[in-house]
Amino acid sequence: MRKKIKIDIMSIYGNVLFSYESVDNTLKKTMEKAVGWRANLRGANLRGADLRRADLREANLREANLWGANLREADLREANLREANLWGANLQEADLWRADLWGANLREANLREANLWGAENLQPIYFDNLYSLRLLPQKTKLTFWKYLEDGKSPYKFAEYKVGKTYKVKDFSTDENEGCDAGLNVATLMWCLRDSVNKENIELIEVEFKVSDIVAVPYYTDGKFRVKQFKVIRKISRKKGMDIMYKISGFKK
């Protein structure tokens, strides 16, 4: 007689978020049941989980730890992946249509042939393959960052106000140049790294469309150029560090 297997989905804090018991149970089955029953999986600890081809449509995986998880061909349509740690996750051929990826850590994630059409709030804390942004629909909205020193851009000495849209007509499309004419934006991690040991630093979050990208420099480490953006908010560098630590799992 086959025994029933009970699997608990734990949070990153150690408490049980969802339990399911059945014959021949697997983590994939448990996850699909949790999602089907609208369980709140916010902060779930799924590091290294095998969820290949799992049906996770509309799953609430906000702040979940999916470090190294196998999500190949998983259905993540309209999933909430805000601030999720997807470092090294296999998302090859995954369907991320209208998934919320604000603040997700996509460092070393495999996004080959993943469907990012309509992905919302695509502003990862770290994103290895910035070139793939250009493969998204031209109207897709993206949010990235700039840092200010003494209230101004350290390179152009321009001031930026929240709620205002900024445009430039003079911009460089030369992708051999890492920093050139245009509005330079970057990942949050790049801004924090480049502003180390500088004083009076603030960060602004900016929004633009894929069609506004004018150059993604070859061998970029997180910075690229756009022709226009809207300033969404301004935060302190300390707040930016808090966001980075929270999403990446790094310790202060």
- Residue recorded with tokens 């226009």: 228
- The pLDDT confidence band at residue 180, using thresholds 50, 70 and 90, is confident
Round to whole Å and give the CA distance between 30 and 104.
24
Between residues 230 and 138, the one the model is more confident about: 230
What number of other Cβ atoms are within 10 A of residue 83's Cβ? 22
Residue 156 has pLDDT above 80, yes or no: no
Domains and CATH numbers, the chain: 1-122 (no CATH), 143-252 (3.20.170)
215-228: pLDDT as tens digits? 988 878 789 999 99
Amino acid at site 250: F
For the entire predicted model, the pTM comes to 0.61
59-98: pLDDT as tens digits? 999 999 999 999 999 999 999 998 899 988 999 889 988 8
